[in-house]
A and B are shown apart, each in its own frame.
Chain A
Amino acid sequence: MGRRLSTEPVTTAVSEGRTAGAPATLTAAGVAKSYGTLRVLAQIDVSVAPGEVVAVLGPSGCGKSTLLRVLAGLEPPDRGRVEIGGQPVRGPSPDRPMVVQGATLFPWLTLRANLEWGPKALGNRQAGAIVDELLEATGLSGSADLLPRQLSGGMRQRAAIAQVLANQPPLLLLDEPFGALDAQTRLRMQEWLIGLLAERRTATLLVTHDVEEALLLGHRLLRLSHRPATVLEELALDLPSPRGRSTLSDPRFVHLKGDVLTRVLDA
């Protein structure tokens, strides 16, 4: 059963409670962002513990993607502070890559070359071995020498996630990564991602407008308001592991989904 912890802005104390004092992988406090007169983020506090998957749920256009861009260092916040592993974020960096909906692979390179890009850019001599292992983990070994356009949408999306994981980042930022896929493919991708993240213990911040996806993947859920965004509530999602297609028919999941959906629709 999901416990409703708070309707106040999240405090770091709440999230640190889960991890017994381990330092947070990501800490963002009081983040605000405007574009000209358009206030997008009013006041966001979020933290992600090592190995934790935090789902950020919000209505379309509420500033979810802006939040991720700020966390990724692609945009500076107007106010507030963002820290990764205790270090303030300045500009994009391979330790907190973002994967967005639609392919971000380099279209002129083969799948293998795409995956090797990161390790090679960082001068990692193990590039070949890392990529072999990732190709295996993504089920794409047979397609290593194909160009991105020769892959299906689902394969491309998996490859885009594998591409940034090749640098073994402590934190992964996902922006509706499976939004462009059909429902069945999306579910398969979600199951694959759940397994991958659990195995690698990669802390993840997942932004989505899909209640089911948020509940299925997240260990914790943050619900954002309409623009300008604030955190409306935070839920711990202690559904049984391993999660997957069977979770969807779990009574607790069904109940929780109805609950959250109602609040989303009433917001």
Chain B
Amino acid sequence: MALREVEGGAGLDLGEVLGPSSEIATRRRLSGWRRAVVGLALPAVLLTAWSVLSATGILSGRLLPAPADLARSFRDFVVAPQREAVPGVVPFRGAAAEHIRASVGLWTGAYVIALCVGLPLGLALGLSRWTAAAVDPLFQALRSVPITAWLPIGLVWFGLGSGAGRFLVFVGAVSPIVVATADSTARVPRQLVDTARMLGTRPRDLARRVYLPAALPGIVTGLRLGLTLGWTTVIVGELTGVSRGLGAMMFAAREVSRLDQIIVGMATFAIIGLTGDILLRAASRPLTRWADA
């Protein structure tokens, strides 16, 4: 690919100066408001059709409650005054904060453990061919076990309760972190490492000063996948007999056939998962901006 010579690039539009890597970015994206309008159009159409089908009775409330009913349930979940707690009963009205706190606590607790295990393990796999040769086959084999298949053994090891749940979310979150960290570390250009050594960087500083920053954009992708996968595992982790958490609420709702409450739980999962991803991306952006196309 031809290199473009642009002297005094400081004052120029970045797109003009960036060179080869910007070729990808030249597939122009829609402007902000256009994307917002187009992105909202489909949900709006579907919502309207859904409302009409529900109002005319074609769509039975037993299959899918009307949007208005769902909105009411959602409001009850979030702001209704809470009833007195009854032992053994999973509350719904006004219990949003309580359930979210439990689920997010499970999620973040397990995710922090997954970070502490996944990042060093991934770096070791990416840096050392010996470690990779020794650990990778076993790791890949374990990774092929479906997350839900870890539930029985988690229950045996940790008993009923949040310990087993945290174990399961950890299993879900850790493998994308390890895979992405190992892969992007192994892909760090040899030339960068050679240059660092020729500039006098001590070998033991290479991991921290060269491999880690160079691999960071790829690692962040793994961190995002791990965060999302961990969140989707939270509901399985709440099959462990806990009485608080979005998953617990949804299974309780299924017992009494409250489809509206189940859907409210799904919507809450979607909102929180999306928020988590946005926060992680925002937090990592200053560190990876150099690699943006």
Residue of B nearest to A160 (CB): B195
The CA of A108 and the CA of B289, in the complex, are separated in Å by 8
Among A180-204, those with CB < 8 Å from B are 180-182, 185
Task: Known A152-B17, A152-B19; judge A121-B199 contact (CB<8 A).
Answer: yes
30 contacts between A and B (CB under 8 A): A72-B198, A91-B197, A94-B198, A97-B195, A98-B194, A98-B198, A102-B191, A104-B191, A104-B192, A104-B195, A106-B214, A107-B290, A108-B213, A117-B199, A117-B201, A118-B199, A121-B202, A121-B205, A143-B10, A149-B19, A149-B290, A152-B7, A153-B3, A153-B4, A153-B19, A164-B195, A164-B199, A167-B200, A181-B5, A182-B2
B199 contacts A163, C-beta separation under 8 Å = yes
Chain A residues with CB under 8 Å of B205's CB are 121
Residue of B nearest to A182 (CB): B5
A residues near B (Cβ < 8 Å) are 72, 74, 91-94, 96-98, 100, 102, 104, 106-108, 117-118, 121-122, 142-143, 146-147, 149-155, 163-164, 167, 180-182, 185
The CA of A68 and the CA of B73, in the complex, are separated in Å by 72
Instruction: For the complex formed, measure the closest distance between the CB of B192 and the CB atoms of chain A, giving whole angstroms.
Output: 6
Total number of B residues with any Cβ neighbor in A under 8 Å: 32
Instruction: For the complex formed, measure the closest distance between the CB of A107 and the CB atoms of chain B, giving whole angstroms.
Output: 6
Among B1-46, those with CB < 8 Å from A are 2-10, 14, 17-19, 21
Interface membership of chain B positions 98-113, coded 1 if the CB is closer than 8 angstroms to chain A and 0 otherwise: 0000000000000000
Task: Known A94-B199, A151-B9, A153-B19; judge A108-B291 contact (CB<8 A).
Answer: yes
Instruction: For the complex formed, measure the closest distance between the CB of B189 and the CB atoms of chain A, giving whole angstroms.
Output: 9
Instruction: For the complex formed, measure the closest distance between the CB of B98 and the CB atoms of chain A, giving whole angstroms.
Output: 43
The CA of A232 and the CA of B216, in the complex, are separated in Å by 47
Instruction: For the complex formed, measure the closest distance between the CB of B48 and the CB atoms of chain A, giving whole angstroms.
Output: 46
Residue of B nearest to A173 (CB): B198
Among B159-211, those with CB < 8 Å from A are 191-192, 194-202, 205, 210
Chain A residues with CB under 8 Å of B214's CB are 106-108
